Structure 1
Amino acid sequence: MAASLVVNNTNPLLLPASRSSPSLNNKKKPNSISCSSAAALTSPPPATLYRRPVFNFAAGPATLPESVLLKAQADLFDYRGSGMSIMEMSHRGKDFDSVIKTAESDLRELLSVPDGYSVLFLQGGATTQFSAVPLNLCSSPADPADFIVTGSWGDKAFKEASKYCTANLVWSGKPNNYTDIADPTDPNFLLRNNQNPDARYLHICANETIHGVEFKTYPAPENDNGLLVADMSSNFCSKPGDVSKFGLIYAGAQKNIGPSGVTIVIVRNDLLLGRPQPATPVMLDYKIHADAASLYNTPPCFGIYICGLVFADLLEQGGLAEVERKNEEKAGALYGAIDGSDGFYVCPVERSVRSLMNVPFTLRTKELEKKFVEEAAKEGMVQLKGHRSVGGVRASIYNAMPLAGVQKLVAFMKDFQARNQ
């Protein structure tokens, strides 16, 4: 069996209060904490003390880089000597102004965002964007928009947009249980995809978190004035990409770049004309947020701060080309274990569109899948249960999942197979 993870629990900041704090029954005065003791909390001990007892394979909220969490741990108490927590300071103060501007600058560098695009830090998750996109890009509910549906999230976007535009289903992977994607470069696909020549935009979900399918080549709208719009929530910043091919990109943060509560929108400036549909709520109007530099109301400050730390971490790793290389190595190891199991494990997704982020697989019975998930959790690998709508097992291996986590899972899979063949 794969060896259990050894954890060093000597860091007092990570211990429960009953083990790290003075007893409430002691005779020290309540205000006897020295300045030196408080200052020590702002600098985390060496990282060698921080090896957490589990690898978290959750689809979201997902694992974050340990270096980011350690930095946030310090700033949570006293942000860079300000005397305040990062969670307490004004969103219009100079400290947070630096936080959000640095986060945007680093994201622009990571994705090579062209100057003609705005970067917005919003709230409400990607689901809110299912409404915001048609409200901003379609002048009325009569305007058409095209949708390629490759999974549950694409389907939800299509159904929600139908309330605010004339949504046209170009292609759906539902007949094959969302296990493949039509090749957008195949001429036969263009002939059968039924794009509307007057569509304001073509919408895709770049990576389907639940079903584990990912676009490797992005389609293009057939009409010259059409826009490509993508929900990139579960593969945002996982690899390089050409932002200029899109009119709009949106992504919830909680899978690859931060905690839940932040949604990134990257939108081409010529689309910010201030003419959304009359019924558009003020909080869904892109121009209002762009004009206010994402500060129209109090933004999710702490979440944006964490995203900024993640962006800096990705740059320190060497940028998205290096991040993609690491993600391909992890995914290759995991898919290799599945495909090399002689059918004990089965990934239902067509190989050419398998996600680098979310890896679903099944075992021969639901009872065996339940046993697999339970035993993996005991070995320190958690959140491996498949989505409730499809069942099975799912390992989400986002940027912050270390190779060691995937290697441990692969070793467990081989051991589990040997014991349950």
Structure 2
Amino acid sequence: MNLLLQTTQHNLQGQIAVTGSKSETNRLLLLKALFPNITLANTSNSDDSEVMQKALVGNDEIVDIHHAGTAMRFLTAYFAVNEGRDVVMTGSSRMQERPIKILVEALAQLGVEISYEKEVGYPPIKIKGKKVTASKVTLAADVSSQYISALLLVASKLENGLELTLEGEITSIPYIKMTLALLNDLDIQTSFEGNVIKVYPKESIVSKEMVVESDWSSASYFFSLVALADTASITLTSYKENSLQGDSELVSLYEKLGVKTTFQNNKMTLVKQENFKYETVNFELNNTPDIAQTIVVTCLGLGIGCHLTGLHTLKIKETDRLEALRIELTKLGANISVTNDSLTLTASENINHNVKISTYNDHRMAMAFAPLALKVPIIIEDAGVVSKSYPDFWNDLKALSFEISEL
């Protein structure tokens, strides 16, 4: 499905109910599988969370998680410590190019047996679930936080808990802290001192309802829309001012792009600042790499430059996001350069019209480029890819008076 996006409405007003956080939902789905007396509310309706849920409640010998990277990592740890359960974990062709070796080697330190079905270091993998008594793991600190969170989520069900030592400089700390905060909410004892994280064993917990906060990564596209509109006031539900989600850093980052954020009654209102003086921005996104695509497109639309760093994990996402951004932004007339962990956009007023944006099976490519329709008509190829994290995205844009037609 290819969509043409355009709008004559440059004054954006509205209220949007954004789906629950995919990051929080997937963590809580796994914890609910370990502690069935948890109940969940406002869960994500994303493809990734549906895949995760299906795998956790099913009894299949082959578990196919399609494009869902979080599910691949979390479920690898879950099945590894699920005594007597043997499964093969597989996914899409892109998933079979995304590394899993770091997590497999970490689980091997706990005595778990995992073998590779095809290429060493990559899915599909065969897991023989077993009871784990070992409790110490050492891991490089600069790896994807999903590897670390996968271990922490299952740790309380290990006989002796887990002591995880991270070697080097830790990246994506907010996501690690989110995982630990969710464990603490369930009265699972943890500590995080220096480079050592401990999770203590817990046999059972009291019944509890966990309400998932709405997804901050999904909110990023509305920050971009507000920044690029002539005037705008958009209210999003349900958000907390003191969020566990790393991407809540959007508030301070977009303040430098002319967007003021206020909170009231679990709602967040984004307002375009009048007569804002724009200048080139330098953002270090080590803790929030998922919003890099949104930010660079916003800067293109505003006609300002940006230099974004801390992006090394983007090369192993749904696609090589840095290369994908370079190709698609160049089509739009941008002057952009990328390295292994950074991106630089030169300020320019010109944006090419009616460009077809390829999405590379990547939901964030589709949604990050959509706000440019406030500046020029734009075509999003394979637009259905947004269902991975935000199935209602196109309908929510229509509610803001965007004209969206299928080509």
TM-score range, shorter chain: under 0.3
Please identify which structure carries the higher strand content: 2
Determine which structure has more spread, i.e. the larger CA radius of gyration. 1
Normalising by the residue count of structure 1, what TM-score does the alignment of the two structures yield? 0.24
Normalising by the residue count of structure 2, what TM-score does the alignment of the two structures yield? 0.24
